[in-house]
Amino acid sequence: MSAVLLPILPPLIVTLAVLILRRGSAALALAGATLSLAGGVRLLAGALDGQAETLLLPGLPDMPLRLVSGPMTALLSVAVATVGTFVLVYAIGYMKRESGQARFYAVMSLFLAAMQALVLAGDWVLLLAAWELIGLCSYLLIGFWFQRPEAANAASRAFLYTRSADLGLYVAIFILIGSSGTSEIAASLEAGGNASTAAGLLLLLAAMGKSAQVPLQDWLMRAMAGPTPVSALLHSATLVAAGAILLIRSATLLSPEALFAIGLVGGVTTVAAGVIALAERDLKRLLAASTASQYGLMLIAVGAGVPMAALLHFLAHAAIKSTLFLAAGDFQHAREGTAFDQLKGVGRARPWAFAGFALAALALAGIPPLSGFFSKDAVIAAALSGQGAAWLGPLALAGTLLTGAYVARALRVLWQSTGDSRSVEGTGWMRAGIWGLAIPAAGLGLAFGPLETILDLPAPETAGTVAIVLGLVAALVGLALGWLVPVQRLLGPAHQWAESGLEVAGGLTAWIGRPAMAVARGCDRLEDHLYAAALAIGHTALSIARGGERLEQRLYLAVLGVGRANLAVGRWVRGGDERGIDGLIFALVAGVRDLGARARTLQSGLIHHSLAISAVATAVLLAILFSASLSV
Note the pLDDT tens digit of each residue in 441-499: 998 888 888 887 777 666 665 556 888 899 999 999 999 998 988 877 777 666 565 65
In the chain, the number of structural domains is: 2
Cβ-contact 39, 423 below 8 angstroms: no
Q: Do 476 and 552 have their domain in common?
A: no
3-state secondary structure of 184: strand
- CA 495 to mean position of chain CA atoms: 35
Residue 120 resides in a domain:
no
| 302-322 tens-digit pLDDT | 999 889 999 999 999 999 999
Residue 626 resides in a domain:
no
CA distances from 5 to 8, 135, 242 (A): 5, 22, 20
Listed residues 502, 535, 560: the one ending a domain: 502
Q: Do 395 and 492 have their domain in common?
A: yes
Q: Do 288 and 334 have their domain in common?
A: yes
Q: Above 90 in pLDDT, residue 439?
A: yes
Span 197-205, average pLDDT:
92
3-state secondary structure 238-302: CHHHHHHHHHHHCHHHCCHHHHHHHHHHHHHHHHHHHHHHHHCCEHHHHHHHHHHHHHHHHHHHH
Q: Do 429 and 529 have their domain in common?
A: no
Residue 192 resides in a domain:
no
Q: Do 426 and 557 have their domain in common?
A: no
Q: What is the pLDDT of residue 112?
A: 94
Q: Of 284-288, 378-382, 454-458, which range is least confident?
A: 454-458
Q: Above 70 in pLDDT, residue 93?
A: yes
CA distances from 97 to 29, 100, 229, 240, 562 (A): 17, 10, 14, 28, 86
C-alpha dihedral sign at 305, 307, 308, 314: positive
215 phi and psi, to 5 degrees? -100, 20
Alpha-carbon span 524 to 510, nearest angstrom: 20
Residue 335 resides in a domain:
yes
Residue 50 resides in a domain:
no
Span 82-92, average pLDDT:
94
Residue 114 resides in a domain:
no
Cβ-contact 204, 261 below 8 angstroms: yes
* Residue among 569, 612, 83 nearest 326 (CA): 83
At residue 31 the predicted structure's pLDDT band, cuts being 50, 70 and 90, is very high
- Helical ranges in 336-391 per DSSP H: 340-343, 346-349, 351-365, 371-384
Q: Do 555 and 429 have their domain in common?
A: no
Q: Above 50 in pLDDT, residue 505?
A: no
Listed residues 448, 471, 502: the one ending a domain: 502
DSSP 225: G
Q: Do 375 and 434 have their domain in common?
A: yes
CA distances from 430 to 91, 272, 328, 427, 584 (A): 7, 32, 11, 5, 122
Q: What is the pLDDT of residue 461?
A: 56
Q: Of 47-56, 273-282, 523-532, 538-547, which range is least confident?
A: 47-56
Alpha-carbon span 632 to 627, nearest angstrom: 9
Residue 301 resides in a domain:
yes
Q: Do 396 and 465 have their domain in common?
A: yes
Q: Above 60 in pLDDT, residue 503?
A: no
Q: Do 322 and 470 have their domain in common?
A: yes
Q: What is the pLDDT of residue 386?
A: 64
Q: What is the pLDDT of residue 507?
A: 53
Residue 435 resides in a domain:
yes
| 314-361 tens-digit pLDDT | 999 999 999 999 999 889 888 888 888 888 888 888 889 899 999 999
DSSP of 518-584: HHHHHHHHHHHHHHHHHHHHHHHHHHHHHHHHHHHHHHHHHHHHHHHHHHHHHHHHHHHIIIIIHHH
| 163-191 tens-digit pLDDT | 888 999 999 999 998 888 888 888 888 87
Q: Of 79-83, 281-285, 594-598, which range is least confident?
A: 594-598
Listed residues 568, 592, 613: the one ending a domain: 568
Q: Do 439 and 490 have their domain in common?
A: yes
Q: Do 427 and 542 have their domain in common?
A: no
Q: What is the pLDDT of residue 600?
A: 66
Domain region containing 313:
273-502
Q: Do 453 and 547 have their domain in common?
A: no
Q: How many CB atoms lie within 10 A of CB 533?
A: 10
